[in-house]
Structure 1
Amino acid sequence: MISSLVIGVIFLALGLGLRYWINRRKFYRRGMMGAEGFSSYEKSVAIKFIERLGKWIAYALIIFGLLSLWVYSREKKDKQDHEMEIQKTN
């Protein structure tokens, strides 16, 4: 039960951290006119592809983290309901 809480928090933090890191890199790559600056066309294509892939991985981590937290809340509620049934029967 606690493992789903820990996994949920870790994956959620990793996903949000990855999104922040990618967006921060993109922000600092911009020049005075707002255009991104790359040293070559190949670097531009490669970096944009890797960042796009990284964002999809971050979305997956965030969704998995939220689902793990939801599973934890359901397990906790089920455990409390089970304990209430036991108290009612005694």
Structure 2
Amino acid sequence: MVASLVIGIIFLVLGLGLRYWINRRKFYRRSDTGAEGFSSYEKQVAIKFIERVGKWIAYALIIFGLLSLWVYSREKKDKEKTEVEIQNPR
């Protein structure tokens, strides 16, 4: 039960951190006019591809983290429900 809470928090933080890091790199790559600066065409293509894949990985981490937190909350509710039923049998 606690494992899903820990995994959920870790994956959520990793996903949000990855998104932040990618967006921060993109922000600092911009010039005063708003255009992104790359030293070559190949670097631009490679970096944009890696960032796109990284964003999808971040989305997957965030979704998995949220699902793990949801599983934890469901397990906690079920455990509380069974404890109440054991204390107050019908």
TM-score (norm 2): 0.99
- Report the 3-state secondary structure (helix = DSSP H, G, I; strand = E; otherwise coil) of the residue aligned with 2:36: coil
Any idea what SS the aligned residue of 1:38 has? coil
Residues 58-80 of structure 1: CA distance to partner in whole angstroms, max 9, x if unpaired? 00000000000000000000000
Match of 1:42 in 2: 42
Q: How many residue pairs end up in the alignment?
A: 90
Partners of 1:59 and 1:89 in 2: how far apart?
A: 44
Counterpart amino acid of residue 81 in structure 1:
K
Partner of 1:64: 64
TM-score (norm 1): 0.99
Give the deviation of 1:10 after TM superposition: 0.1
Question: Superposition pairs for residues 1-90 of structure 1, below 5 Å?
Answer: 1-89=1-89
Q: CA deviation at 1:2?
A: 0.1
Gap runs ≥5 in structure 2: none
C-alpha RMSD of the superposition: 0.9
Q: How much does 1:89 deviate?
A: 1.7
